[in-house]
Structure 1
Amino acid sequence: MAAEFILPGGSSRKVAVFLAEATPARAGGERLSDLLNDSGSQFIPALDAETETMTFVHCENLAMARVAAEHEPNVVDPFNIPTEHEVEVRLTDGQRLRGLITYVLPEAHSRLTDYLNSAPPFFPILQEAGQVVLVNKKHVAYVETLRR
């Protein structure tokens, strides 16, 4: 699967990531978010698209990963209406990212701060260009809600 890995400071690499065809967590294949949020994997293998060399990426030091939305589908609970926030995320290195955060949490804990505090290390932001950016919380300075 094609992805773009973005490091602190903004440098990026286009890579191919190898995913399993099945996962015990749910029906369907493994997603990049599964790899990045797996606490047992510090390094993930990726094939650099430009140099065609194997690269082993240390997940904790990755600021963001961008993939086509089809590879990170937003799984919506058919019995609950999702909460959506249009946001701007500012990373500690100054990079900015705009998009939509969507989640379903119990009503008593459905604030954006509840989601951000309970979200896995990499949380998804849907962008208009049909892409999902998986943002590493360790590199986030702040998340600002935008008016629609």
Structure 2
Amino acid sequence: MDERKIEKENRPVLFELSDGSEVEGEVFLRLYEAHHAGLQKVGDLLHEEKKFIPVRTKGGTLLINRSHIVVAKVPAQLEKDDLMTLGKKNSVSLKMIRGNEIEGDVFVNLPEGFCRMKDYLNQPVRFFTLIQPEFVVYINQEFVLSVHD
């Protein structure tokens, strides 16, 4: 075994890109994450500073430019944890730049006085988390036109 190889876990993801195309494949996650216990999450991967994310597809490995990922959809049974559902639940509908709408729940867990949906959306993060019954959906804020709560 190559000692330089870092062990990774694969996680299925469906990406919607800024040109409207979809890429289905697997991303590679670290077995440990610095910001929480356990396996790295797709959301952690999306918030890294790396410009390109490798995705193993049926056609081979594809490097996707993170800034052009509109939505990353991950099966809830693999990605969701209790920390994602802490705070005030807000059922929202997002109107996206290409005209489609995405619905789901956002959980706002911010300090007292800053726990409105507006405060959550104005955080300095690129992707925020939307919970659907079957999926955890990471939304790139750059491609959201409006949010109805």
TM-score range, shorter chain: 0.7 to 0.9
Query: TM-score scaled to structure 1, two decimals?
Result: 0.86
1:41 pairs, out of 50, 55, 75, with 50
Q: Distance in 2 between matches of 1:57 and 1:44?
A: 5
- Structure 2 matches for 1:55-66, cutoff 5 A? 55-66=62-73
Shift of 1:88: 0.6
Are residue 107 (structure 1) and residue 112 (structure 2) matched?
yes
Shift of 1:70: 2.9
Query: 2:39 corresponds to which residue?
Result: 29
Q: Distance in 1 between matches of 2:144 and 2:82?
A: 24
Following TM superposition, the consecutive aligned residue runs of length 4 or more in structure 1 with deviations greater than 2 angstroms are 8-11, 70-77
Higher strand share: 2
* Counterpart residue identity of residue 80, structure 2: P
Task: Please give the secondary structure, in 1, of the residue aligned with 2:83.
Answer: coil
Q: What residue ranges of structure 1 are gaps of 5+ in the alignment?
A: none
Query: 2:94 corresponds to which residue?
Result: 89
Q: Does the Cα contact within 8 Å between 1:3 and 1:15 map onto a contact in 2? A: yes
1:71 pairs, out of 78, 81, 84, with 78
Q: Does the Cα contact within 8 Å between 2:129 and 2:137 map onto a contact in 1? A: yes
Task: Please give the secondary structure, in 2, of the residue aligned with 1:94.
Answer: coil
Q: Does the Cα contact within 8 Å between 1:3 and 1:65 map onto a contact in 2? A: yes
